Amino acid sequence: MTETLKRTVEGVFVKLLFHKQEMRGMQLIQFETRCIKKGEIHEIVTTSQQDAVCGDVINRVGFLGFAEMTCGGVIERGDEVFVDGRKIGAVVGFDECHYPNHYNILIAVQDTLTADELQLRIESTISFG
């Protein structure tokens, strides 16, 4: 098996969110990777539906906020996600209900999380790799 090497995609939070939903109805798109450009802003969402696969509907969500990417690269399913240097989970997939404005990047976590539960602040960092 060949190891895949790629750049860590990094960003900072520009808007924080503090709510959860149990029946959100997001749907994971069929693609497991998305190319992200420097300067793009995407919504970061947590879900406790850890075993979700492409095409699944995601209902249990917690919203962290919107993050501006400070470098471009590829985010893919399975990437570990770090917020302010702490691992919070792994990318489970993408929802494009608001695209082309932004993607919802869904992060698989034990229990849904919001910005206040992670003590996020504007300019908190996020990385995918």
Q: Is the pLDDT of residue 2 over 80?
A: no
Please report, as a single letter, which amino acid is at residue 119.
Answer: Q
Band (pLDDT 50/70/90 cuts) for residue 46 is very high
Mean local confidence (pLDDT), 13-40: 96
Contacts of 59 (CB under 8 A, 6+ apart): 21, 22, 23, 24, 25, 26, 49
**What count of Cα atoms within 13 Å lies in the side-chain half-sphere of residue 118?**
32
Burial class for 95, CB neighbours closer than 10 Å (0-12, 13-18, 19+)? buried
